[in-house]
Amino acid sequence: MLFFFNFLFAPHANSKDIPASIYDFKVAGLDGSTIDFSKYKGKKIFIVNTASKCGYTPQYAALEKLYEKYKDKMVIIGFPANNFLFQEPGSNEQIATFCQKNYGVTFPMAAKISVKGRNMAPLYQWLTIKKYNNFQESSVKWNFQKYLINEKGQLVAVFPPATTPDDAEVIKAIEQQ
């Protein structure tokens, strides 16, 4: 039974599909562009899975403030996902409109992806599997889980969904050299 569960819900990307470095990822943007992680070398990267109909959705406002404050040395990239109680049902266009209208989001937003299960995006496999990220195993617990990558492209922190972007622990990790 466990094998069947793992087969159905475990990610199925071949390890050769997972880049060794965060800087080798290129993902579709919410607006149809390409987000090329190589252009963020030398900056911190803060990755957050997002949803428009979640109790944590107001974190968009704090994420935008964080981005405005640190955008010279850090980029935030939002990844809309519909993995938790169908809290991101919209299309990429609907999500973009929602984010702009309600929160004035200016940080890069990726196209909607899956952050867990059988269809987990390769980037999230890199973030959650230690053999790829060389930091720790993790699983995405809910919307607005946060991953911090340092200026050298190393995963250095994982923050649970309830930890707000302006939490002292998050700010300390961002400001560390």
Pairwise CA distance, residues 112 & 109, whole Å: 9
Instruction: Give me the pLDDT at residue 103, please.
Output: 98
What six digits make up the tokens of 134? 């060389």
pLDDT band at residue 13, thresholds of 50, 70 and 90? low
C-alpha torsion angle, residues 149, 154, 156, 157 (rounded to 10)? 40
Percent of the chain at pLDDT > 90 equals: 90
Pairwise CA distance, residues 131 & 129, whole Å: 6
Name the residue ranges covered by the structural domains of the chain: 2-175
Q: What would the pLDDT profile of 133-151 be if each residue is shown by its tens digit?
A: 999 999 999 999 999 999 9
- The residues facing 141 across adjacent strands are none
Instruction: Quote the distance between the C-alpha of residue 12 and its chain's center.
Output: 19
The number of residues in the chain equals 177
Pairwise CA distance, residues 135 & 127, whole Å: 9
For 151, residues 6+ apart whose C-beta sits below 8 A from its C-beta are: 41, 42, 43, 44, 73
126 pLDDT higher than 70: yes
Look at the block and give the residue holding tokens 């993790």.
138
Instruction: Give me the pLDDT at residue 105, please.
Output: 98
pLDDT band at residue 171, thresholds of 50, 70 and 90? very high
pLDDT band at residue 28, thresholds of 50, 70 and 90? very high
Q: How many CA atoms lie within 13 A of 100 on its CB side?
A: 10
| CATH number 3.40.50.10540 is the correct assignment for the domain at 2-175 | no
What six digits make up the tokens of 132? 């790829």
Range 69-107 burial, b when 16+ CB lie within 10 A, else e = ebeeebbbbbbbbbbbeebbebebeebbebbeeebebeb
Q: Which residues does the annotation mark as catalytic? A: 54
Look at the block and give the residue holding tokens 């937003």.
109
- Give mean pLDDT, residues 6-11: 48
Q: What would the pLDDT profile of 69-109 be if each residue is shown by its tens digit?
A: 999 999 999 999 999 999 999 999 999 999 999 999 999 99
- Give mean pLDDT, residues 143-170: 98
7 pLDDT higher than 50: no
